[in-house]
Amino acid sequence: MSRALIEDYDAALFDLDGVIYLGPDPIPAAPPTVAALQERGVKVGFVTNNAARRTDVVAEVLRGMGIRTTANDVVSSAQAITDLASSQLPAGAKVLIVGTEALAEEARSKGLEPVATADDGPVAVIQGYHPQMPWSLLVEAGIAIQHGAAWYGANPDMTRPTDRGLVPGIGAQLAAVATTVDAEPVIAGKPNRPLLDATVARLGCRTPIFVGDRLDTDVLGANRVAMASMMVFSGAHGKHDLLDADPQSRPRFIAKDVSGLLAEPRRAVIDGDRAVCRAGEARVNGGVVEVSGAVGGDLDTQLDSLAAVLALVWAGRGEASHRALEVLDLVH
């Protein structure tokens, strides 16, 4: 009898954008999967690199999508970066907030004093994602940092997945400031530890699994804290990103969406120059890894084949070209 992946873990930590929802719409598998996990007694946490909204607002959005949750179940990079800044700055320190009012509220709650311009004498700049970032704020950030202010960034995501496609993320906004300064921001969000450490501490879990759609933040962050991860194909990254992933950015599991937690995990078995994962198979032919056998017409079977290919490539048995993955035409 098959065993669900989640049975080896006591908590599921979810990224939001591209995992639970895309823009205003929930990913169809998300509400029923979260409900099933909660019925099993699995602890559930929502970990967002997006610093633009308060956690109570995020929780309300999730409830509107049919997901039972409270603000205490949501941990944001806004909380993590203001926690970090307040631990390193004097009480009542002036900070230039380059982000939304939600980020400013978090700073105030940590005993910091938000200011509006570099002329107000901030000792630090705290920058978070803003969906309508005023260019004037980026200018003020650069000037403040040039004058000696410390620089804190909520997270490094270069893009955000939405229902309309990928859009620039805070990484692009950080890069705009970086063109004017000789400094790099201190980052609290994924892939750095503070955000994930805070979530684990809040949930009180021992063996969590992180579910994300990005290798450079979600999966890398989980690997850095020795946490299992499952990458889903409902958001930003896909098969080509996996093929190019360095060892620290490789997930333990892949699934089409969060429902993979309730299914038998994909584990490829290597036998010489052949790897098999459920209905998928790959072989090494002249040093090149290729999908072998009939390619199924459904996404799940194609993901089985992808897992077999990745197992051989990541084990160093051969190389695979991006062209070889084009037979998996249902996998983005």
Q: Among this protein's residues, is 213 annotated catalytic?
A: no
The class level of CATH for 78-186 reads alpha beta
Catalytic residue among 15, 213, 218, 304: 15
Residue of 209, 291, 278, 299 whose CA lies nearest to 243: 291
CATH tag for 5-49+191-262 (out of 3.30.70.60, 3.30.70.660, 3.90.180.10, 3.40.50.1000) = 3.40.50.1000
Catalytic residue among 8, 10, 17, 216: 17
Q: What confidence score (pLDDT) does residue 157 get?
A: 85
Strands across the sheet containing 288-291? 269-271, 274-277, 280-285, 288-291
Q: What is the pLDDT of residues 76-106, one digit of tens each?
A: 999 999 999 999 999 999 999 999 999 999 9
Q: What is the pLDDT of residues 163-182, one digit of tens each?
A: 888 889 899 999 999 999 99
Q: Among this protein's residues, is 10 annotated catalytic?
A: no
Q: What confidence score (pLDDT) does residue 23 get?
A: 85
Residue ranges per domain, the chain?
5-49+191-262, 78-186, 269-327
What's the mean pLDDT in 235-248?
Answer: 93
Q: What is the pTM of this model?
A: 0.87
Domains 5-49+191-262 and 78-186 alike in fold? yes
Residue of 111, 68, 73, 119 whose CA lies nearest to 92: 111
What's the mean pLDDT in 20-34?
Answer: 94
